[in-house]
Structure 1
Amino acid sequence: MTPTNTTNPLNPTQPASAVPFDYLVYIGRFEPLHNGHFAMLRQALAQARTVIVVLGSAGGARTVKNPFTADERRQMIEGAVAAWDAARVADLRFVVVRDYYESARWTAAVRAVAGAVIDAPAHGTPRVGLFGHFKDASSGYLNDFPGWELVPQPSFGQLNAADVRRQWFEQQGACKGWRACCRSRWPRSCASSPGAKRSRPCWPSTASCRTTAAAGRPRRIRRSS
Protein backbone atom coordinates (compact mmCIF):
# COMPACT_ATOMS: atom_id res chain seq x y z
CA MET A 1 0.00 0.00 0.00
CA THR A 2 1.35 3.41 -0.92
CA PRO A 3 1.55 5.87 2.00
CA THR A 4 -0.96 8.67 1.64
CA ASN A 5 0.77 11.62 3.30
CA THR A 6 1.88 14.48 1.07
CA THR A 7 3.40 16.77 3.68
CA ASN A 8 5.34 16.37 6.90
CA PRO A 9 2.81 17.14 9.70
CA LEU A 10 5.49 18.42 12.08
CA ASN A 11 6.81 20.66 9.31
CA PRO A 12 3.95 21.31 6.85
CA THR A 13 6.25 23.13 4.42
CA GLN A 14 8.30 19.97 3.91
CA PRO A 15 6.93 17.46 1.38
CA ALA A 16 6.70 13.85 2.48
CA SER A 17 9.17 12.92 -0.25
CA ALA A 18 11.83 14.89 1.65
CA VAL A 19 11.68 12.72 4.79
CA PRO A 20 14.89 10.75 5.26
CA PHE A 21 13.48 7.23 5.72
CA ASP A 22 11.17 5.01 3.75
CA TYR A 23 10.48 3.00 6.91
CA LEU A 24 11.18 3.45 10.60
CA VAL A 25 10.75 0.46 12.89
CA TYR A 26 9.48 1.36 16.37
CA ILE A 27 9.50 -1.54 18.84
CA GLY A 28 7.60 -1.45 22.12
CA ARG A 29 5.15 -3.11 24.44
CA PHE A 30 3.03 0.04 24.93
CA GLU A 31 1.46 -1.41 28.08
CA PRO A 32 -0.18 1.08 27.96
CA LEU A 33 0.58 3.73 25.36
CA HIS A 34 1.46 6.95 27.20
CA ASN A 35 2.38 10.49 26.19
CA GLY A 36 6.09 9.69 25.98
CA HIS A 37 5.42 6.90 23.48
CA PHE A 38 3.10 9.18 21.55
CA ALA A 39 5.67 11.99 21.34
CA MET A 40 8.18 9.50 19.94
CA LEU A 41 5.67 8.15 17.46
CA ARG A 42 4.99 11.64 16.13
CA GLN A 43 8.72 12.16 15.70
CA ALA A 44 8.99 8.86 13.84
CA LEU A 45 6.17 9.83 11.49
CA ALA A 46 7.93 13.14 10.84
CA GLN A 47 11.03 11.27 9.66
CA ALA A 48 9.55 8.40 7.64
CA ARG A 49 6.93 7.73 5.02
CA THR A 50 5.86 4.64 6.95
CA VAL A 51 6.34 3.62 10.58
CA ILE A 52 6.30 -0.07 11.43
CA VAL A 53 5.08 -0.48 15.00
CA VAL A 54 6.26 -3.77 16.48
CA LEU A 55 3.95 -4.76 19.35
CA GLY A 56 5.97 -6.94 21.72
CA SER A 57 4.83 -9.46 24.32
CA ALA A 58 1.95 -10.47 22.07
CA GLY A 59 -0.27 -13.52 22.33
CA GLY A 60 -0.01 -14.26 26.03
CA ALA A 61 -2.63 -14.18 28.76
CA ARG A 62 -3.35 -10.86 30.45
CA THR A 63 -1.05 -10.18 33.39
CA VAL A 64 -0.33 -7.19 35.60
CA LYS A 65 2.74 -6.45 33.48
CA ASN A 66 0.97 -7.06 30.15
CA PRO A 67 -2.67 -6.05 30.65
CA PHE A 68 -3.61 -5.36 27.02
CA THR A 69 -3.86 -7.55 23.95
CA ALA A 70 -1.97 -6.60 20.82
CA ASP A 71 -5.21 -5.57 19.12
CA GLU A 72 -6.17 -3.32 22.03
CA ARG A 73 -2.77 -1.64 21.90
CA ARG A 74 -3.10 -1.16 18.15
CA GLN A 75 -6.47 0.53 18.67
CA MET A 76 -4.99 2.86 21.30
CA ILE A 77 -2.17 3.89 18.98
CA GLU A 78 -4.43 4.35 15.97
CA GLY A 79 -6.87 6.40 18.04
CA ALA A 80 -4.13 8.70 19.33
CA VAL A 81 -2.67 9.23 15.85
CA ALA A 82 -6.12 9.77 14.32
CA ALA A 83 -6.85 12.55 16.80
CA TRP A 84 -3.52 14.19 15.93
CA ASP A 85 -3.48 13.71 12.14
CA ALA A 86 -6.03 11.26 10.75
CA ALA A 87 -4.25 10.98 7.40
CA ARG A 88 -1.17 9.48 9.02
CA VAL A 89 -2.99 6.44 10.37
CA ALA A 90 -2.64 4.97 6.87
CA ASP A 91 1.14 5.28 7.23
CA LEU A 92 1.29 2.94 10.21
CA ARG A 93 1.95 -0.77 9.87
CA PHE A 94 1.42 -3.02 12.89
CA VAL A 95 3.16 -6.33 13.43
CA VAL A 96 3.33 -8.49 16.53
CA VAL A 97 6.01 -10.61 18.13
CA ARG A 98 5.79 -12.85 21.17
CA ASP A 99 8.34 -13.11 23.96
CA TYR A 100 11.13 -15.61 23.27
CA TYR A 101 13.42 -15.05 26.28
CA GLU A 102 16.35 -15.62 23.94
CA SER A 103 17.83 -12.57 22.27
CA ALA A 104 18.81 -14.13 18.95
CA ARG A 105 15.41 -15.74 18.38
CA TRP A 106 13.53 -12.60 19.35
CA THR A 107 15.68 -10.43 17.07
CA ALA A 108 15.14 -12.83 14.17
CA ALA A 109 11.38 -12.77 14.78
CA VAL A 110 11.30 -8.96 14.76
CA ARG A 111 13.29 -8.86 11.52
CA ALA A 112 10.95 -11.39 9.93
CA VAL A 113 7.66 -9.67 10.79
CA ALA A 114 8.96 -6.19 9.97
CA GLY A 115 10.62 -7.36 6.77
CA ALA A 116 7.35 -8.85 5.59
CA VAL A 117 5.78 -5.38 5.27
CA ILE A 118 8.75 -3.54 3.77
CA ASP A 119 8.20 -2.94 0.05
CA ALA A 120 11.11 -2.21 -2.24
CA PRO A 121 10.82 1.17 -3.99
CA ALA A 122 10.73 1.39 -7.75
CA HIS A 123 14.41 2.31 -7.79
CA GLY A 124 17.07 1.30 -5.31
CA THR A 125 16.79 -0.14 -1.82
CA PRO A 126 14.41 1.16 0.84
CA ARG A 127 16.04 3.14 3.59
CA VAL A 128 15.05 1.49 6.86
CA GLY A 129 15.81 2.84 10.31
CA LEU A 130 15.32 1.61 13.86
CA PHE A 131 13.72 4.22 16.07
CA GLY A 132 14.01 4.14 19.84
CA HIS A 133 15.22 5.52 23.15
CA PHE A 134 18.02 4.09 25.30
CA LYS A 135 16.11 4.14 28.58
CA ASP A 136 18.23 1.63 30.49
CA ALA A 137 19.97 -1.73 30.10
CA SER A 138 16.75 -3.24 28.74
CA SER A 139 17.16 -1.05 25.65
CA GLY A 140 20.29 -2.87 24.49
CA TYR A 141 18.25 -4.61 21.81
CA LEU A 142 18.51 -1.41 19.78
CA ASN A 143 22.08 -2.43 18.94
CA ASP A 144 21.03 -5.85 17.63
CA PHE A 145 19.76 -4.86 14.18
CA PRO A 146 22.69 -4.19 11.84
CA GLY A 147 21.47 -2.96 8.49
CA TRP A 148 18.75 -0.85 10.07
CA GLU A 149 20.14 2.60 10.71
CA LEU A 150 19.77 3.44 14.39
CA VAL A 151 17.83 6.64 15.05
CA PRO A 152 18.18 7.21 18.83
CA GLN A 153 15.82 9.60 20.53
CA PRO A 154 16.01 11.61 23.75
CA SER A 155 13.61 10.95 26.58
CA PHE A 156 10.29 12.74 26.19
CA GLY A 157 9.69 13.42 29.88
CA GLN A 158 10.10 10.91 32.68
CA LEU A 159 7.08 8.76 31.94
CA ASN A 160 7.27 5.00 31.85
CA ALA A 161 4.50 2.46 31.47
CA ALA A 162 5.30 0.65 34.73
CA ASP A 163 4.53 3.83 36.68
CA VAL A 164 1.28 4.33 34.76
CA ARG A 165 0.18 0.77 35.56
CA ARG A 166 1.18 1.13 39.21
CA GLN A 167 -0.76 4.36 39.58
CA TRP A 168 -3.77 2.76 37.98
CA PHE A 169 -3.82 -0.10 40.48
CA GLU A 170 -3.06 1.96 43.55
CA GLN A 171 -5.77 4.61 43.17
CA GLN A 172 -8.85 3.14 44.85
CA GLY A 173 -9.77 0.54 42.29
CA ALA A 174 -9.13 0.02 38.62
CA CYS A 175 -11.67 2.45 37.13
CA LYS A 176 -10.74 5.44 39.31
CA GLY A 177 -7.07 4.78 38.74
CA TRP A 178 -7.67 4.53 35.02
CA ARG A 179 -9.26 7.96 34.85
CA ALA A 180 -6.53 9.62 36.93
CA CYS A 181 -3.78 8.13 34.76
CA CYS A 182 -5.56 9.15 31.59
CA ARG A 183 -5.82 12.77 32.62
CA SER A 184 -2.11 13.21 33.30
CA ARG A 185 -0.19 10.65 31.30
CA TRP A 186 -2.10 9.26 28.34
CA PRO A 187 -2.98 10.69 24.94
CA ARG A 188 -6.58 11.87 25.46
CA SER A 189 -8.02 9.79 22.64
CA CYS A 190 -6.17 6.67 23.82
CA ALA A 191 -8.22 6.33 26.98
CA SER A 192 -11.48 6.37 25.05
CA SER A 193 -10.40 3.80 22.47
CA PRO A 194 -12.51 0.64 22.18
CA GLY A 195 -9.57 -1.48 23.32
CA ALA A 196 -9.04 0.56 26.46
CA LYS A 197 -12.73 0.53 27.34
CA ARG A 198 -12.97 -3.24 26.89
CA SER A 199 -9.99 -3.85 29.16
CA ARG A 200 -11.21 -1.89 32.16
CA PRO A 201 -13.71 -4.47 33.44
CA CYS A 202 -11.13 -7.25 33.12
CA TRP A 203 -9.27 -6.09 36.23
CA PRO A 204 -9.94 -7.65 39.62
CA SER A 205 -9.45 -5.83 42.90
CA THR A 206 -6.20 -4.00 43.59
CA ALA A 207 -5.31 -6.51 46.30
CA SER A 208 -5.71 -9.40 43.87
CA CYS A 209 -3.48 -7.64 41.31
CA ARG A 210 -0.77 -7.15 43.91
CA THR A 211 -0.96 -10.82 44.83
CA THR A 212 -0.49 -11.79 41.19
CA ALA A 213 2.51 -9.48 40.82
CA ALA A 214 4.12 -10.79 44.00
CA ALA A 215 3.68 -14.37 42.88
CA GLY A 216 5.82 -13.63 39.84
CA ARG A 217 3.97 -15.96 37.52
CA PRO A 218 1.51 -15.25 34.70
CA ARG A 219 -2.15 -15.70 35.54
CA ARG A 220 -5.15 -14.96 33.36
CA ILE A 221 -7.06 -12.06 34.80
CA ARG A 222 -10.74 -12.83 34.49
CA ARG A 223 -13.79 -10.60 34.54
CA SER A 224 -15.17 -10.41 38.04
CA SER A 225 -18.76 -11.45 38.53
Structure 2
Amino acid sequence: MPEKVFDCLVFIGRFQPPHRGHIEVIAQALSKAEQVIVLIGSAWQARSLRNPWTFDERAEMIRACIGSEDQSRLTMVPLLDALYNDDIWVRDVQKKVRDLAMQPAQKLPKIALIGARQTRSNYFLTLFPQWQSVSVDPLDGISSEDIRVPLFHDADTARAYLAQTPHPTLEAPVTARLSQFMDTEHWQALHQERQLLEQYQRAWQDTPYPPMFITVNAVVVQSGHVLLVERRAAPGKGLYALPGGFVQPQERLEDACFRELRDNIRLKVPEPVLRGSLRAHRLFDDPHRSWRGRTLAQAFYLALRPEQRLPEVRMPRTSRHKAVWLPLADLDPEQLFEDHFFIIQSFLGLPAGYNAS
Protein backbone atom coordinates (compact mmCIF):
# COMPACT_ATOMS: atom_id res chain seq x y z
CA MET A 1 0.00 0.00 0.00
CA PRO A 2 1.51 3.40 -0.98
CA GLU A 3 2.40 5.79 1.82
CA LYS A 4 -0.33 8.27 2.65
CA VAL A 5 0.28 11.98 2.08
CA PHE A 6 -1.78 13.11 5.08
CA ASP A 7 -2.35 11.82 8.57
CA CYS A 8 -5.94 13.07 8.52
CA LEU A 9 -8.31 14.47 5.90
CA VAL A 10 -11.51 16.22 6.98
CA PHE A 11 -14.62 16.26 4.79
CA ILE A 12 -17.49 18.54 5.83
CA GLY A 13 -20.93 18.29 4.26
CA ARG A 14 -24.66 17.94 4.82
CA PHE A 15 -25.13 14.76 2.75
CA GLN A 16 -28.90 15.22 2.37
CA PRO A 17 -28.67 12.56 0.97
CA PRO A 18 -25.16 11.23 0.28
CA HIS A 19 -24.65 10.91 -3.48
CA ARG A 20 -21.96 9.51 -5.77
CA GLY A 21 -20.01 12.77 -5.63
CA HIS A 22 -19.77 12.58 -1.85
CA ILE A 23 -18.70 8.95 -1.92
CA GLU A 24 -16.04 9.72 -4.53
CA VAL A 25 -14.57 12.45 -2.31
CA ILE A 26 -14.45 10.05 0.65
CA ALA A 27 -12.82 7.37 -1.52
CA GLN A 28 -10.14 9.80 -2.64
CA ALA A 29 -9.64 10.95 0.94
CA LEU A 30 -9.10 7.36 2.08
CA SER A 31 -6.48 6.92 -0.64
CA LYS A 32 -4.57 10.00 0.53
CA ALA A 33 -4.83 9.84 4.34
CA GLU A 34 -4.44 7.38 7.18
CA GLN A 35 -7.62 8.70 8.78
CA VAL A 36 -10.69 10.39 7.30
CA ILE A 37 -13.06 12.42 9.47
CA VAL A 38 -16.47 13.17 7.97
CA LEU A 39 -18.28 15.97 9.78
CA ILE A 40 -21.97 15.65 8.99
CA GLY A 41 -23.58 19.07 9.23
CA SER A 42 -27.18 20.09 9.93
CA ALA A 43 -27.21 17.53 12.72
CA TRP A 44 -29.83 17.66 15.49
CA GLN A 45 -32.30 19.56 13.36
CA ALA A 46 -35.98 18.89 12.91
CA ARG A 47 -36.81 16.98 9.75
CA SER A 48 -37.72 19.23 6.85
CA LEU A 49 -37.67 19.14 3.07
CA ARG A 50 -34.15 20.58 3.25
CA ASN A 51 -33.03 18.27 6.08
CA PRO A 52 -35.02 15.05 5.71
CA TRP A 53 -32.56 12.61 7.31
CA THR A 54 -30.96 12.47 10.74
CA PHE A 55 -27.25 12.21 11.39
CA ASP A 56 -27.54 8.49 12.14
CA GLU A 57 -29.43 7.82 8.91
CA ARG A 58 -26.93 9.72 6.79
CA ALA A 59 -23.95 8.14 8.54
CA GLU A 60 -25.41 4.68 7.92
CA MET A 61 -25.89 5.44 4.21
CA ILE A 62 -22.30 6.63 3.86
CA ARG A 63 -20.78 3.73 5.77
CA ALA A 64 -22.76 1.24 3.67
CA CYS A 65 -20.92 2.55 0.59
CA ILE A 66 -17.43 2.08 2.04
CA GLY A 67 -15.51 -1.20 1.81
CA SER A 68 -14.89 -3.21 4.97
CA GLU A 69 -11.12 -2.73 4.67
CA ASP A 70 -11.50 1.05 5.13
CA GLN A 71 -14.18 1.16 7.82
CA SER A 72 -11.72 1.46 10.71
CA ARG A 73 -10.09 4.53 9.12
CA LEU A 74 -13.37 6.38 8.66
CA THR A 75 -14.81 8.45 11.50
CA MET A 76 -18.16 10.23 11.20
CA VAL A 77 -19.43 12.73 13.75
CA PRO A 78 -22.43 15.10 13.87
CA LEU A 79 -21.94 18.83 13.48
CA LEU A 80 -24.51 21.36 14.64
CA ASP A 81 -24.97 24.37 12.38
CA ALA A 82 -24.44 27.91 13.67
CA LEU A 83 -26.17 29.79 10.88
CA TYR A 84 -25.49 33.30 12.10
CA ASN A 85 -22.07 32.97 13.70
CA ASP A 86 -19.21 31.49 11.69
CA ASP A 87 -16.85 31.85 14.64
CA ILE A 88 -18.94 29.50 16.81
CA TRP A 89 -19.11 26.99 13.98
CA VAL A 90 -15.39 27.20 13.20
CA ARG A 91 -14.51 26.67 16.86
CA ASP A 92 -16.72 23.59 16.97
CA VAL A 93 -15.05 22.13 13.86
CA GLN A 94 -11.58 22.87 15.22
CA LYS A 95 -12.39 21.21 18.53
CA LYS A 96 -13.88 18.08 16.96
CA VAL A 97 -10.91 17.61 14.64
CA ARG A 98 -8.43 18.25 17.45
CA ASP A 99 -10.12 15.64 19.64
CA LEU A 100 -10.55 13.03 16.90
CA ALA A 101 -7.36 13.29 14.84
CA MET A 102 -4.97 10.45 15.60
CA GLN A 103 -1.59 11.62 16.84
CA PRO A 104 1.39 10.19 14.92
CA ALA A 105 4.42 9.22 16.97
CA GLN A 106 6.41 12.25 18.15
CA LYS A 107 5.00 14.74 15.66
CA LEU A 108 1.98 16.90 15.00
CA PRO A 109 -0.62 15.33 12.69
CA LYS A 110 -0.68 16.57 9.11
CA ILE A 111 -4.31 17.61 8.62
CA ALA A 112 -6.10 18.94 5.55
CA LEU A 113 -9.64 19.68 4.42
CA ILE A 114 -10.95 17.95 1.34
CA GLY A 115 -13.90 18.99 -0.80
CA ALA A 116 -15.22 19.27 -4.32
CA ARG A 117 -13.58 22.03 -6.33
CA GLN A 118 -15.53 25.25 -7.00
CA THR A 119 -18.82 24.35 -5.36
CA ARG A 120 -20.88 27.05 -3.63
CA SER A 121 -21.25 25.01 -0.46
CA ASN A 122 -17.50 24.72 0.08
CA TYR A 123 -16.83 28.35 1.00
CA PHE A 124 -15.82 27.09 4.46
CA LEU A 125 -12.55 25.77 3.03
CA THR A 126 -11.28 29.34 3.45
CA LEU A 127 -12.16 29.45 7.17
CA PHE A 128 -9.33 27.16 8.29
CA PRO A 129 -5.99 28.67 7.22
CA GLN A 130 -4.10 26.37 9.60
CA TRP A 131 -5.00 23.36 7.43
CA GLN A 132 -4.19 22.62 3.82
CA SER A 133 -7.00 22.27 1.29
CA VAL A 134 -7.34 19.36 -1.09
CA SER A 135 -9.73 19.89 -4.00
CA VAL A 136 -11.45 17.10 -5.88
CA ASP A 137 -13.11 17.57 -9.26
CA PRO A 138 -16.90 17.35 -8.71
CA LEU A 139 -18.98 14.85 -10.62
CA ASP A 140 -21.00 16.78 -13.19
CA GLY A 141 -24.68 17.39 -12.64
CA ILE A 142 -25.05 15.90 -9.16
CA SER A 143 -26.85 17.90 -6.50
CA SER A 144 -28.50 16.71 -3.30
CA GLU A 145 -31.17 19.36 -3.78
CA ASP A 146 -32.09 17.95 -7.19
CA ILE A 147 -32.27 14.47 -5.64
CA ARG A 148 -34.63 15.56 -2.86
CA VAL A 149 -37.24 17.06 -5.20
CA PRO A 150 -38.52 13.82 -6.79
CA LEU A 151 -38.23 11.91 -3.52
CA PHE A 152 -41.06 13.84 -1.87
CA HIS A 153 -43.24 14.80 -4.84
CA ASP A 154 -45.40 11.67 -4.70
CA ALA A 155 -44.85 7.98 -4.00
CA ASP A 156 -44.93 6.83 -7.64
CA THR A 157 -42.45 9.48 -8.75
CA ALA A 158 -40.13 8.71 -5.85
CA ARG A 159 -40.17 4.94 -6.38
CA ALA A 160 -39.60 5.33 -10.12
CA TYR A 161 -36.69 7.66 -9.42
CA LEU A 162 -35.09 5.22 -6.99
CA ALA A 163 -35.70 2.22 -9.27
CA GLN A 164 -33.25 3.41 -11.94
CA THR A 165 -30.56 0.77 -12.49
CA PRO A 166 -27.79 1.69 -12.30
CA HIS A 167 -28.80 4.90 -10.59
CA PRO A 168 -27.06 7.94 -12.13
CA THR A 169 -26.46 9.79 -8.86
CA LEU A 170 -26.90 7.38 -5.93
CA GLU A 171 -25.07 4.26 -4.83
CA ALA A 172 -27.16 1.10 -4.45
CA PRO A 173 -26.96 0.99 -0.60
CA VAL A 174 -28.31 4.55 -0.51
CA THR A 175 -31.23 3.87 -2.84
CA ALA A 176 -32.12 0.82 -0.74
CA ARG A 177 -32.25 2.87 2.45
CA LEU A 178 -34.17 5.69 0.80
CA SER A 179 -36.73 3.15 -0.43
CA GLN A 180 -37.13 1.89 3.14
CA PHE A 181 -37.51 5.47 4.35
CA MET A 182 -40.53 5.89 2.09
CA ASP A 183 -42.43 3.40 4.26
CA THR A 184 -42.10 5.56 7.37
CA GLU A 185 -44.35 8.21 8.87
CA HIS A 186 -41.49 10.68 8.38
CA TRP A 187 -41.77 10.37 4.60
CA GLN A 188 -45.53 10.89 4.81
CA ALA A 189 -45.08 14.07 6.85
CA LEU A 190 -42.47 15.44 4.45
CA HIS A 191 -44.64 14.55 1.47
CA GLN A 192 -47.46 16.55 3.06
CA GLU A 193 -45.11 19.50 3.52
CA ARG A 194 -44.10 19.20 -0.13
CA GLN A 195 -47.75 19.42 -1.17
CA LEU A 196 -48.23 22.51 1.00
CA LEU A 197 -45.13 24.10 -0.49
CA GLU A 198 -46.33 23.48 -4.04
CA GLN A 199 -49.72 24.96 -3.16
CA TYR A 200 -47.97 27.98 -1.67
CA GLN A 201 -45.77 28.42 -4.73
CA ARG A 202 -48.75 28.22 -7.10
CA ALA A 203 -50.33 31.15 -5.29
CA TRP A 204 -47.31 33.30 -6.21
CA GLN A 205 -46.43 31.87 -9.62
CA ASP A 206 -47.84 34.81 -11.60
CA THR A 207 -45.93 37.55 -9.81
CA PRO A 208 -43.60 39.54 -12.09
CA TYR A 209 -40.65 38.82 -9.78
CA PRO A 210 -39.77 36.18 -7.20
CA PRO A 211 -41.61 36.97 -3.96
CA MET A 212 -39.74 37.95 -0.81
CA PHE A 213 -41.47 37.80 2.55
CA ILE A 214 -40.87 39.96 5.62
CA THR A 215 -41.65 38.55 9.05
CA VAL A 216 -40.96 39.35 12.69
CA ASN A 217 -40.19 37.10 15.65
CA ALA A 218 -40.08 37.75 19.38
CA VAL A 219 -37.48 36.15 21.66
CA VAL A 220 -39.11 36.74 25.04
CA VAL A 221 -37.10 35.50 28.02
CA GLN A 222 -37.96 35.59 31.71
CA SER A 223 -36.48 33.75 34.67
CA GLY A 224 -34.62 31.18 32.57
CA HIS A 225 -37.58 30.46 30.28
CA VAL A 226 -38.28 31.41 26.67
CA LEU A 227 -41.75 31.94 25.22
CA LEU A 228 -42.48 29.54 22.36
CA VAL A 229 -45.45 28.38 20.34
CA GLU A 230 -46.13 24.69 19.76
CA ARG A 231 -47.21 24.26 16.15
CA ARG A 232 -50.23 22.02 15.71
CA ALA A 233 -50.35 21.98 11.92
CA ALA A 234 -47.95 21.44 9.03
CA PRO A 235 -45.40 22.62 8.23
CA GLY A 236 -43.51 21.83 11.39
CA LYS A 237 -46.39 20.12 13.17
CA GLY A 238 -45.39 19.34 16.75
CA LEU A 239 -42.36 21.64 16.72
CA TYR A 240 -41.74 24.73 18.83
CA ALA A 241 -41.47 28.12 17.14
CA LEU A 242 -40.88 31.68 18.21
CA PRO A 243 -43.94 33.94 18.34
CA GLY A 244 -44.21 36.03 15.22
CA GLY A 245 -45.82 36.57 11.87
CA PHE A 246 -45.93 38.64 8.71
CA VAL A 247 -45.51 42.40 8.70
CA GLN A 248 -48.53 44.36 7.53
CA PRO A 249 -48.06 46.83 4.63
CA GLN A 250 -48.30 50.03 6.71
CA GLU A 251 -46.54 48.70 9.80
CA ARG A 252 -43.12 49.25 11.34
CA LEU A 253 -41.20 46.08 12.17
CA GLU A 254 -41.09 46.77 15.89
CA ASP A 255 -44.81 47.51 15.97
CA ALA A 256 -45.50 44.23 14.14
CA CYS A 257 -43.62 42.32 16.83
CA PHE A 258 -45.60 43.87 19.68
CA ARG A 259 -48.86 43.42 17.77
CA GLU A 260 -48.16 39.69 17.49
CA LEU A 261 -47.49 39.44 21.22
CA ARG A 262 -50.59 41.48 22.05
CA ASP A 263 -53.19 40.14 19.60
CA ASN A 264 -52.10 36.62 18.68
CA ILE A 265 -50.12 35.43 21.69
CA ARG A 266 -52.02 37.57 24.22
CA LEU A 267 -49.08 37.77 26.55
CA LYS A 268 -50.33 39.34 29.79
CA VAL A 269 -47.61 41.96 30.07
CA PRO A 270 -48.40 45.66 29.51
CA GLU A 271 -47.03 46.88 26.20
CA PRO A 272 -44.98 49.69 27.82
CA VAL A 273 -43.25 47.03 29.92
CA LEU A 274 -42.58 44.93 26.82
CA ARG A 275 -41.14 47.89 24.95
CA GLY A 276 -38.99 48.76 27.94
CA SER A 277 -37.66 45.19 27.99
CA LEU A 278 -36.32 45.34 24.44
CA ARG A 279 -32.60 44.60 24.58
CA ALA A 280 -31.60 43.89 20.99
CA HIS A 281 -32.89 43.21 17.51
CA ARG A 282 -31.36 41.66 14.43
CA LEU A 283 -32.16 40.64 10.88
CA PHE A 284 -31.96 36.92 10.11
CA ASP A 285 -31.59 36.35 6.40
CA ASP A 286 -30.14 32.92 5.65
CA PRO A 287 -31.42 32.18 2.10
CA HIS A 288 -32.61 28.72 3.15
CA ARG A 289 -34.10 29.67 6.51
CA SER A 290 -37.75 29.17 5.58
CA TRP A 291 -39.63 26.44 3.74
CA ARG A 292 -41.84 28.99 1.95
CA GLY A 293 -38.97 30.63 0.04
CA ARG A 294 -36.93 33.80 0.49
CA THR A 295 -38.04 35.05 3.88
CA LEU A 296 -36.37 37.71 6.00
CA ALA A 297 -37.04 37.73 9.73
CA GLN A 298 -36.43 40.67 12.04
CA ALA A 299 -36.22 39.27 15.56
CA PHE A 300 -36.53 41.25 18.79
CA TYR A 301 -34.99 40.11 22.08
CA LEU A 302 -37.04 41.03 25.14
CA ALA A 303 -35.58 40.29 28.58
CA LEU A 304 -38.39 40.56 31.12
CA ARG A 305 -37.65 41.27 34.76
CA PRO A 306 -37.30 38.02 36.77
CA GLU A 307 -40.44 37.15 38.70
CA GLN A 308 -41.59 34.21 40.79
CA ARG A 309 -44.42 33.53 38.33
CA LEU A 310 -44.17 33.54 34.56
CA PRO A 311 -46.61 35.84 32.71
CA GLU A 312 -49.90 34.33 31.66
CA VAL A 313 -50.51 33.60 27.99
CA ARG A 314 -54.01 33.20 26.56
CA MET A 315 -53.97 32.52 22.85
CA PRO A 316 -57.32 32.75 21.03
CA ARG A 317 -59.36 29.55 21.04
CA THR A 318 -59.36 29.68 17.25
CA SER A 319 -55.56 29.49 17.15
CA ARG A 320 -54.02 26.34 15.69
CA HIS A 321 -51.06 26.65 18.05
CA LYS A 322 -50.33 26.61 21.78
CA ALA A 323 -48.02 28.98 23.68
CA VAL A 324 -45.62 27.58 26.29
CA TRP A 325 -42.83 28.85 28.53
CA LEU A 326 -39.92 26.45 27.96
CA PRO A 327 -36.92 26.24 30.32
CA LEU A 328 -33.74 27.21 28.49
CA ALA A 329 -32.17 23.91 29.57
CA ASP A 330 -34.87 22.07 27.61
CA LEU A 331 -34.17 23.79 24.29
CA ASP A 332 -33.57 21.06 21.73
CA PRO A 333 -32.57 21.99 18.16
CA GLU A 334 -34.44 18.95 16.86
CA GLN A 335 -37.68 20.33 18.31
CA LEU A 336 -37.38 23.90 16.94
CA PHE A 337 -38.98 25.04 13.70
CA GLU A 338 -36.79 26.28 10.82
CA ASP A 339 -33.88 28.40 12.14
CA HIS A 340 -35.54 29.45 15.40
CA PHE A 341 -33.00 27.65 17.59
CA PHE A 342 -30.23 29.61 15.90
CA ILE A 343 -32.10 32.89 16.39
CA ILE A 344 -32.33 32.15 20.10
CA GLN A 345 -28.69 31.06 20.10
CA SER A 346 -27.68 34.35 18.50
CA PHE A 347 -29.21 36.45 21.28
CA LEU A 348 -28.51 34.24 24.29
CA GLY A 349 -25.05 32.97 23.37
CA LEU A 350 -25.93 29.30 23.64
CA PRO A 351 -22.97 26.95 23.03
CA ALA A 352 -22.34 25.50 19.59
CA GLY A 353 -22.11 21.91 20.74
CA TYR A 354 -25.19 19.85 21.48
CA ASN A 355 -25.27 16.56 23.32
CA ALA A 356 -28.31 14.48 22.48
CA SER A 357 -27.83 12.42 25.61
TM band (smaller chain): 0.7 to 0.9
- Taking structure 1 as reference, are residues 109 and 181 closer, same or farther at Cα in structure 2, changes over 3 Å only? farther
Are positions 1:214 and 2:196 aligned together?
A: no
Question: For 1:100, which of 82, 100, 108 is the aligned residue?
Answer: 82
Are positions 1:162 and 2:153 aligned together?
A: no
State TM-score, norm by structure 2. 0.51
- The alignment partner of 2:107 has SS state of coil
Q: CA deviation at 1:30?
A: 0.3
Q: Could you tell me which runs of 5 or more consecutive residues in structure 2 were left unpaired when the two chains were aligned.
A: 198-234, 236-290, 296-336, 340-357
Q: Percent identity?
A: 26
**What do you get for the CA RMSD once the two structures are aligned?**
2.5
Are positions 1:189 and 2:309 aligned together?
A: no
Q: CA deviation at 1:198?
A: 4.3
Question: For 1:91, which of 59, 64, 73 is the aligned residue?
Answer: 73
- Taking structure 1 as reference, are residues 218 and 177 closer, same or farther at Cα in structure 2, changes over 3 Å only? farther
The structure that has the greater radius of gyration is 2
Q: Could you tell me which runs of 5 or more consecutive residues in structure 1 were left unpaired when the two chains were aligned.
A: 1-6, 8-13, 220-225
Cα-to-partner distance string for 1:15-36 (whole Å, 9 max, x where unaligned): xxx1101100000000000111
Q: Distance in 1 between matches of 2:173 and 2:120?
A: 31
8 Å CA contact 2:11, 2:37 repeated in 1: yes
8 Å CA contact 2:152, 2:187 repeated in 1: no
Are positions 1:43 and 2:28 aligned together?
A: yes
- 1:75 aligns with 60
Q: Pairwise mapping of residues 11-50 of structure 1 onto structure 2 (< 5 A)? A: 14=2, 18-50=3-35
- 1:58 aligns with 43
Structure 1 outlier segments of 4+, above 6 Å: none
Cα-to-partner distance string for 1:141-186 (whole Å, 9 max, x where unaligned): 1111121111111112220100000122235457525624783321
State TM-score, norm by structure 1. 0.79
8 Å CA contact 2:181, 2:187 repeated in 1: no
- The alignment partner of 1:170 has SS state of coil
Letter in 2 for 1:51: V
- The alignment partner of 1:185 has SS state of coil
8 Å CA contact 1:164, 1:181 repeated in 2: no
- 2:114 aligns with 131
Question: For 1:149, which of 132, 136, 152 is the aligned residue?
Answer: 132
Count matched residues: 200
8 Å CA contact 2:35, 2:102 repeated in 1: no
Q: Distance in 2 between matches of 1:116 and 1:197?
A: 35
- The alignment partner of 2:114 has SS state of strand
- The alignment partner of 2:152 has SS state of helix
When you count helix as a share of all residues, which structure comes out higher? 1
8 Å CA contact 1:68, 1:199 repeated in 2: no
- Taking structure 1 as reference, are residues 47 and 61 closer, same or farther at Cα in structure 2, changes over 3 Å only? same
